[in-house]
Amino acid sequence: MTAPTAPTMPTAQPVLDFHVRLAPRPGAAGRLLAAMDEHGLTRAVVCAGGTVDLDTLARQLVEGGHVETDADNDAVLAACSGPDGKGRLVPFWFANPHRPPGVYRERAAEFRGLEVSPAVHGVALTDPRVAALVEVAADFGHPVYTVCLDRPGAGVADLVALARRFPRTDFVLGHSGIGNIDFHALALIRDEPRIRLETSGGYTCVAEAAIDRLGAARVVFGTEFPLQHPAVELAKFAAIGTPPEQWRQIAWENAHRLLGEEKP
């Protein structure tokens, strides 16, 4: 029996990883940049990590609960504006809805986007505190990244409702929806063109279906580094044989459009 041919990794074109984490630990920025270099990632959107330990987060995902800890957005900004990260790392503000939205507003001009996380802070997408944060994002032209949960107020349908309240704001549904095979998420966001799908974590069948059902222009590549190895997420698109023209959209052009930048 002939062994299957390994898929070709899709790194011949530039890649903007739309979702990586930066934990407030010594050397974290250097490790991120080294991983990017090793795997051909040209740029990355950076959100704060380490706001909650992984054991607690895993429990919250199953049982509920939350923390009210602030993310270390200053560490993200320092890494992105440093001599090695400037131009390569793009800072997003990881909001804490337990704080007044003015905290974000005062710093928004220093950042390029917003993340809200019902999984970490336990505040639903239907909560007025989240709407107040999205209003700030709308004022500054920031895209909004979030991960949905199978929980009242935090589902993909709730994201759709939020997006309809802010029709000129771009939203990114992280981790391919809820779980690994969320075809239902694709159906829910299909008619909402300002919602894109970021593909880290989901199965290859979902990535392939997203390209087919939403179009490559609404799919963005992300890794969730350091929790996920970049090679794994790159292999996903190699395995489904993503054509070069679609890969350039997913890995480069769509992200720059979300950031309000002309694609290089």
On the question of pLDDT at 263 being above 80, the answer is no
The answer to whether residues 218 and 13 touch, using CB atoms and an 8 Å cutoff, is: no
pLDDT score, position 262: 82
Q: State mean pLDDT over 60-79.
A: 95
- For the chain, the residue count is 264
The answer to whether residues 65 and 59 touch, using CB atoms and an 8 Å cutoff, is: yes
Q: How far apart are CA 203 and CA 222, in angstroms?
A: 13
116-147, pLDDT tens digit by residue? 999 999 999 999 999 999 999 999 999 999 99
- By three-state DSSP, how is residue 26 classified? coil
pLDDT score, position 212: 98
What is the Cα gyration radius of the chain? 17
pLDDT score, position 3: 45
Q: How confident is the model at residue 89 (pLDDT cuts 50, 70, 90)?
A: very high
On the question of pLDDT at 6 being above 60, the answer is no
pLDDT score, position 1: 45
Q: How confident is the model at residue 9 (pLDDT cuts 50, 70, 90)?
A: low
pLDDT score, position 11: 55
198-236, pLDDT tens digit by residue? 999 999 999 999 999 999 999 999 999 999 999 999 999
Please give the mean pLDDT across all residues of the chain: 95
Q: State mean pLDDT over 165-192.
A: 97
**Beta-carbon contacts of residue 238 (< 8 Å; ≥ 6 apart):** 7, 8, 9, 10
Burial 38-64 (b: 16+ CB within 10 A, else e): ebbbbbbbbbbbbbbeeeeeeebeeee
pLDDT score, position 24: 86
Give 126's DSSP letter: T
Q: State mean pLDDT over 64-72.
A: 95
